[in-house]
């Protein structure tokens, strides 16, 4: 007889006792969290911080929440974002500079370690939906392709949904977009009205809507990395017209008016003094009429860009309000660093020239004045506007002076802020304080271990006391600063800062006053508790206090992996970490699939052969064979009316070579050869049929976030006016071959300028 123990306890569901797994659930009543990070927006550029630039939606958040006028960041993008998301000092999590350059020192790996799990991972594990849109710039160079690894993509850092761009910058009309882990084309073209700010708002709304319709009671964390107001300052002409003539009296007058408004609205103390105009920023009165026309138009475009971005942010806020979620949504708005001066003394019509350290003239830019802000430009304003945008402080992005490190901070949360609506909190705080503040607001304790990895202590402290009372004291009294060799330290109301000048931009090298050598750096001392804009150097009066602060800086530097210091580009070369799978010296590509990102292509800087194996159509060949980048910086090979053309845009300067005879049906390959020193040739079946000598060499990267290699058609903006995308090839393409001289390290100075231009 067969024994069937079916009747034994536990062998059927009816007789078994289960132990359902407890899934993570947020605390009852926990808030949604939205963190909005503006880019290169200075302390004085928002309406609620004294500007006359119209930002009604951000002003509305400020009026219903809190403004912090003593908030600090790291002076550059990737480091600030790492600090914001992890609550740790940027060197302590390997982000001493930009994600684009990984060095073999703990503070500069460009890889946030597993021991520093950040807000998205912690909140996801605690029961929040996590989503990110926009700029990321926390993935090291060499890992920004579909081959991964994805540990430092948004998904690897705890975000469940992502839509945006991995690099530090993007063309607002034709960005290099990523959805999840896939590179995609924008949903519309420029002619169809596309702008990246609109797209990011659309996606943010879509993420929130889908999440709330699927799980209404589940809170969400939305990270909104806006492209604005990073260069290029792209905006449609109709937007800029609202500011026509508003800035004709220049940056001196604008800065003075802004300072007066800052005092009137309480973001600057009544007894504060305005820091003086430095020698390297010319007075507006000293400029000729042509320069004034150009520079005032640059600021009209910038102002419109910011106002447009504000409107898109307002759409997201309004949608959250429509859902009935606004009162219990903690919204944090900040900028990653002060206003940018990377346009130089006269600005730039095409910021790709920054990488090659190429000057631009007022005369040249005035000729293309009508193109500024549009798809034919990659524009950045003159640095006088950056100086004014950081009113009342000195200097700008990249420097440890307040112009680089003190930016606007707004916190809006009606259900969670007891302080008077619209108040100004003056407690010293830093980007590292935001993560603990958000965790505190969510009722979450930072874990001591994640996935079995012990966690680094969080360096920041919660600002919850300030949310309850705007007059509450600062939760910490010490913070160091270092960026590219510029150094500063804050302690208990005092700040010491070096006069070090960075070796980044030609105009700064030539014009800025200060030290170019660490050995000759001079420290200045300011009592910022009573001297808001650092106008009175107390170094000679209080040498002992200054020495104590300098000693404190070195102690903090040792504790946070800041050392070794370096302010040169070439000095970093021996420490550069090569990717595990670097781009090959030669490669073959096939039609179909996504664009190939710039990072994955062979380094074409030192010469290349690009060959396209083709089969022309029965009615004659026509269309784009290969494109890379666009007319701001790009390369293309195409056929029009039977004539093949190889085209290159070197920072907007276009060079084309065309076959003298029509391409016959028997042709099997068309290509481009570029060789030393600057020979650019069109090749048909391996033979040069036309060529030109270029005035300078190829770039290290074509757009540093622009469109990658496309085969058989183009998209977005063309490389040259000789064709209109998509202009698909009418025949067949077998393969594209790119051959280079061999593996050579890229020039670090160009790599870093690329990164800084896009940061």
Question: 198: part of which helix (H) or strand (E)?
Answer: helix 196-214
| Structural domains of the chain sorted by starting position, each given as residue range(s) with its CATH number in brackets | 32-476 (3.40.720.10), 490-575 (3.30.1120), 586-742 (2.60.120.200)
Q: Mind giving me the DSSP string for 360-399? A: --HHHHHHTGGGTTSTT-B-B--HHHHHHHTTTSSS-TTS
Question: For residues 217 and 325, what is the distance between their CA atoms, to the nearest angstrom?
Answer: 10
Q: What is the pLDDT of residue 358?
A: 79
Mean pLDDT of 636-657: 94
The question of whether 233 is a catalytic residue gets the answer no
> CA torsion angle for 559, 119, 340, 430 (degrees, to 10)?
-50
Q: What is the pLDDT of residue 1?
A: 66
- When mean pLDDT is compared across 426-435, 446-455, 491-500, 578-587, the lowest value belongs to 578-587
Q: What is the pLDDT of residue 706?
A: 57
Q: Are strands 66-68 and 71-72 parallel, antiparallel or unpaired?
A: unpaired
Mean pLDDT of 18-44: 93
Per the prediction, the chain carries an average pLDDT of: 93
Instruction: Dump pLDDT digits (tens) for 568-603.
Output: 766 666 778 888 888 889 999 999 988 898 888 998
Question: For residues 46 and 48, what is the distance between their CA atoms, to the nearest angstrom?
Answer: 5
Of 412, 345, 433, which is closest to residue 36 (Cα–Cα)?
Answer: 412
Which of 48, 77, 429, 442 is the catalytic position?
Answer: 77
Q: Are strands 32-38 and 220-225 parallel, antiparallel or unpaired?
A: parallel
| Residue 590: both structure tokens together | 């096939």
Q: Which residues pair with 512 in a beta bridge?
A: none
Q: What is the percent of the chain with per-residue pLDDT over 70, rounded to a whole number?
A: 96
pLDDT category of residue 705 using cuts at 50, 70 and 90 = very low
13 vs 281, which has greater pLDDT? 281
Instruction: Dump pLDDT digits (tens) for 216-273.
Output: 999 999 999 999 999 999 999 899 999 999 999 999 999 999 999 999 999 999 999 9
Question: For residues 216 and 209, what is the distance between their CA atoms, to the nearest angstrom?
Answer: 10
| Residue 610: both structure tokens together | 């690009």
Q: Are strands 161-165 and 409-412 parallel, antiparallel or unpaired?
A: unpaired
Peptide bond into 710 cis (omega under 30): no
The question of whether 77 is a catalytic residue gets the answer yes
**For residue 118, pLDDT beyond 90:** yes
| Residue 402: both structure tokens together | 């307040």
- Contact (CB, 8 A) for 588 and 736: yes
Instruction: Dump pLDDT digits (tens) for 296-326.
Output: 999 999 999 999 999 999 999 999 999 999 9
- When mean pLDDT is compared across 293-302, 477-486, 536-545, 578-587, the lowest value belongs to 578-587
Instruction: Dump pLDDT digits (tens) for 160-208.
Output: 999 999 999 999 999 999 999 999 999 999 999 999 999 999 999 999 9
**Residue whose tokens read 């504060």:** 272
Three-state DSSP at 262 gives helix
Q: Are strands 423-425 and 409-412 parallel, antiparallel or unpaired?
A: unpaired
566 vs 389, which has greater pLDDT? 389
Of 463, 466, 421, which is closest to residue 439 (Cα–Cα)?
Answer: 463
| Sequence-separated (6 or more) residues with CB below 8 Å from residue 547 | none
Which of 72, 90, 91, 137 is the catalytic position?
Answer: 137
Instruction: Dump pLDDT digits (tens) for 716-741.
Output: 899 999 999 999 999 899 999 999 98
**For residue 76, pLDDT beyond 80:** yes
pLDDT category of residue 9 using cuts at 50, 70 and 90 = confident
Instruction: Dump pLDDT digits (tens) for 390-418.
Output: 999 999 999 999 999 999 999 999 999 99
């Amino acid at each position: 007889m067969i024994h069937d123990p079916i009747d034994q306890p536990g062998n059927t569901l009816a007789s078994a006792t289960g132990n359902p797994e407890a899934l993570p659930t947020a605390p009852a009543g926990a808030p949604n969290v939205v963190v909005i990070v503006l880019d290169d927006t200075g302390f004085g550029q928002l309406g609620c911080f004294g500007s006359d630039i119209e930002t009604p939606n951000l002003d509305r958040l400020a009026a219903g929440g809190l403004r912090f006028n003593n908030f600090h960041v790291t002076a550059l993008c990737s480091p600030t974002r790492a600090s914001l998301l992890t609550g740790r000092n940027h060197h302590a999590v390997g982000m001493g500079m930009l994600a684009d350059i990984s060095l073999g020192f703990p503070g500069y790996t460009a890889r946030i370690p597993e021991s520093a799990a950040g807000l998205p991972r912690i909140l996801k594990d605690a029961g929040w939906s996590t989503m990110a849109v926009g700029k990321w710039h926390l993935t090291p160079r060499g890992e920004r392709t579909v081959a991964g690894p994805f540990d430092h993509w948004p998904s690897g850092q705890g975000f469940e949904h992502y839509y945006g761009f991995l690099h530090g910058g993007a063309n607002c009309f034709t960005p290099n977009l990523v959805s999840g882990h896939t590179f995609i084309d924008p949903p519309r073209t420029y002619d169809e009205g596309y702008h990246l700010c609109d797209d990011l708002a659309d996606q943010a709304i879509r993420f929130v809507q889908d999440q709330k319709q699927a799980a209404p009671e589940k809170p969400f964390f939305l990270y909104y990395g806006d492209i604005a107001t990073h260069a290029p300052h792209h905006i449609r002409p109709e937007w800029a017209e609202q500011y026509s003539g508003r800035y004709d009296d220049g940056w001196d007058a604008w800065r003075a008016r802004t300072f007066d408004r800052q005092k009137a609205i309480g973001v600057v103390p009544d007894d504060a003094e305005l820091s003086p105009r430095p020698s390297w920023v010319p007075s507006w009165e000293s400029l000729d009429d042509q320069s004034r026309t150009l520079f005032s138009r640059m600021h009209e475009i910038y102002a419109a860009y910011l106002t447009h971005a504000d409107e898109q942010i307002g759409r997201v806020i309004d949608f959250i309000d429509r859902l009935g979620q606004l009162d219990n949504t903690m919204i944090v708005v900040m900028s990653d660093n002060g206003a940018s001066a990377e346009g130089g003394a006269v600005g730039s019509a095409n910021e790709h020239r920054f990488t090659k350290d190429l000057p631009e003239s007022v005369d040249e830019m005035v000729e293309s004045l009508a193109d500024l802000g549009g798809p034919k430009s990659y524009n950045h304003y003159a640095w006088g506007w950056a100086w004014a945008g950081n009113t009342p402080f000195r200097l700008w992005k990249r420097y440890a002076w307040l112009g680089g490190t003190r930016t606007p901070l707004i916190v809006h949360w009606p259900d969670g802020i007891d302080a008077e609506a619209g108040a100004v909190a003056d407690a010293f705080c830093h980007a590292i304080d935001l993560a603990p503040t958000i965790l505190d607001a969510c009722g979450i304790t930072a874990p001591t271990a994640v996935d079995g990895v012990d966690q680094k202590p969080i360096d920041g402290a919660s600002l919850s006391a300030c949310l309850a009372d705007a007059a509450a004291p600062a939760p910490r009294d010490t913070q160091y600063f270092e960026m590219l060799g510029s150094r500063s330290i804050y302690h208990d109301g005092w700040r010491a800062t070096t006069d070090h000048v960075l070796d980044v931009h030609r105009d700064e090298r030539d014009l800025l006053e200060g030290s170019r050598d660490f050995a000759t750096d001079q420290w200045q001392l300011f009592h910022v508790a009573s001297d808001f804009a650092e106008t009175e150097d107390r170094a000679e009066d209080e040498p002992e206090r200054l020495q104590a602060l300098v000693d404190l800086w070195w102690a903090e530097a040792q504790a946070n992996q800041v050392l070794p210091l370096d302010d040169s580009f070439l000095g970093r070369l021996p420490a550069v970490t090569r990717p595990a799978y670097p781009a090959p010296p030669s490669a073959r590509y096939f039609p179909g699939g996504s664009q190939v990102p710039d990072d994955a292509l062979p380094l074409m800087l030192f010469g290349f052969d690009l060959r396209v194996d083709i089969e022309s159509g029965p009615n004659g060949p026509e269309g784009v064979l290969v494109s890379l980048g666009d007319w701001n910086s790009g390369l293309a090979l195409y056929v029009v009316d039977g004539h093949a053309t190889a085209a290159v845009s070197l920072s907007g300067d276009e060079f084309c070579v065309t076959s003298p005879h029509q391409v016959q049906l028997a042709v099997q390959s068309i290509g481009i050869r570029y060789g030393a020193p600057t020979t650019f040739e069109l090749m048909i079946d391996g033979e040069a049929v036309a060529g030109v000598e270029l005035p300078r060499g190829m770039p290290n990267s074509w757009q540093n976030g622009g469109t990658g290699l496309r085969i058989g058609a183009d998209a977005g903006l063309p490389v040259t006016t000789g064709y209109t995308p998509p202009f698909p090839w009418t025949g067949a393409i077998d393969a594209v071959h790119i051959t280079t001289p061999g593996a050579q390290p890229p020039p670090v100075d160009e790599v870093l300028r690329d990164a800084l231009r896009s940061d």
